[in-house]
Structure 1
Amino acid sequence: MHLLIASPYQNEHLILRPGSGKAVKIPQGHFKVLEHAAAFGEPSPDWLTSVVKRAWELDLEGRPVAGNVLIRKPGLTGHSRATYEINLGCDYKCPECYLGEKRFEGLDWDGKVRMLYAVRDSGVIWFQFTGGEPLIDRDFKRAYRLANELGMMVEILSNGSSLHKPEIMDLLRELPPETLTLSLYGATEKTYEECTKTGHSYKKFCVGLDAAVEAGLNVKLSLVIIKENAHEQNAMRAWAERLGVPWSEYALMSPTIAGGAEPLANQSPAHLKERQPFTGCPAGHTFYHLNPFGLASICKVGRDPSINLVDEGASALTRLGGIADSLMLRTGGCSGCQLSGSCRVCRPMAKLMQQAEAPLKNYCQHAPKE
């Protein structure tokens, strides 16, 4: 497996190290030198050995570029990030989940392979596995390995329930993710399992979290704040601080992807605060989302229209920008609201909230006038 990735990125060129959040910019001329060196079996140039020594304490002295540095080609589209719901199934029963019905279905292995190659060809550098719960998918381990082999910086969004399994941790030690973001549902066993509605989930999570931190993985905790655990918010924060891992909070629930209102009932009233002003979004232009069947959409909220990436290939993703622009228009769905210019949510989210008949205070928020 390669030690480094050299890749075009927008109008720049980057050196990246799998499992690390660091990136080093290099001139276009240096990138061309690496392309030539990889093609003709030449050793790593002095400037590269110096750069990677400083950035990652990695010694490339006398080592060839080929086999150590994977050279990425320019993508067919302008997309550099993508997320992939490898399935919608989960081993938790959290009522606040935006997925609604959790189904284990999607592409077979051959379909996943075609999709991952198309993702690579589109130019994606940062690729996130999500779900459902990705680590319990039957194809996760080989899909994760293939994404790494194709030269993507892989991230994982997980509930952490499978990290206690040796085969999962062995894989992540061998191929560390750039980021492993774990959802945290409480600071005590009682509260955690009230939120997940799953017995023994707390103990499994604790064992897996400790294993991931001990392995030196780039762990980040996402504190999911709902009615059942809001009283443990400070204890959850303290847990993250004690471990020395970064954390963020997620408290604004959204309807299910089918427009169901069920998750909104679990919103902690004290945490229903104003959203940040919506100032635009790269969805569809530099980022896209994939569902379990390889259907590409601008994001996990604006799922329709979509593009069948497996059947149509990477070049079809050039249509996503136009789809994004049409979905983001502030017309129609809010009956021509004249305050749309100061809205705090994107049009796809507003549409989903309306479909769920959510209270206006959940989404009809406007920035104050200058």
Structure 2
Amino acid sequence: MSSLNLVPASTEDYRRIAERKVPRFLFDYLDGGSYSETTLRANVSAYQDITLKQTVLKDVSSVDTSVELFGTTYSMPAGLAPIGMGGMFGARGELQAKAASDALNIPFVLSTVAICSLEEVAQVSDKSFWFQLYMLRDRGAVQQMLQRAQNVGVDTLVFTVDLAVLGARYRDKRNGLSGGTSLGGRLRTALNLASKPSWIKSVGLGGKPHTFGNLEEYVPNASRPDDFQAWITQQVDSTVTWKDIEWLRSIWPGKLIIKGILTEEDAKQAVQVGADGIVVSNHGGRQLDCVDATINVVSDIKSAVGDATTVILDGGIRSGQDIFKAYALGADFTLIGRSWVYALAAGGQRAITDLLATFKAEIEISMALTGITQSQDIDHRVLKARA
């Protein structure tokens, strides 16, 4: 069956459709990782090594997947992770994602390098959303964006700390997305675009402008994502230390979540500087290759910090059962990354909504067949002990 005629039932189905619909350089930007992509693959495959313990003859006629996080009740322990250039995969893609997350009552995290701006996303509904930010060399720009976030009602900041240098992503280089300024690179991009007329119509033309909405005032002459690349590269700050996070904590009045934690030591440091939460993350395998899959370290990190901070996990989540396993291993919440963008590229807001509904149903089924009716009761007891 052609992937374009496929009725999608899983993340992989949406991925196959997305691969056919979007230009190759964009698909590889979304789908790829750094170097040999060892961590990228491990993030996904590690979930398959975790075995559930089926339990029968329990009254599971009523199953509740809802959880409370930072004083807000969400329908399931998952939100939409920040993804750069989301609006290149669907017309004004971040707006569609925000609407889908609102419909299912889960948080949406807007990326610094989103196509749509803070102000545009805030117009989707009166429901608050989260904002992801990097420590830029221009600290004034950081302060300005924090103020803009406050102005539109953002009360939760997700601060990414694993970008001291940019990871090398070979797929991007091969496809001309990075270092593709040669004539050959430009020709490859042009030919690839020409092969995707439906994307050109719906996103290329229908989704304009293709700028990074949050950064427009800092790169005033930019008209497309490529134009922002040099500025962003210059702004990556390799001098950032925990002292800078202390400064951030002193000026940000809302919830502060530190994203990019992979060790118990760094998790404890985040607690010391006053983080309300951490995201156990390896940047989706896009920064340092050959580091641990996040699902393999979340239990030890949770044990190290206990209830002193909220532990969120991202990386490799491709199903509701993956969310269930992460929760059982100690994560208080999870963030869904690539999966929602595959769905966006495959079918827009409706596809994101359908995928999230599938994830929620998979959590419900996993709970029922392990004898659990309340999400807060999900713990290591639903997992089969490893030999």
The structure whose Rg is larger is 1
TM range (shorter): 0.3 to 0.5
Q: TM-score, normalised by structure 1?
A: 0.40
More strand by share: 1
Q: TM-score, normalised by structure 2?
A: 0.39
Between Structure 1 and Structure 2, which shows a larger proportion of helix residues? Answer: 2
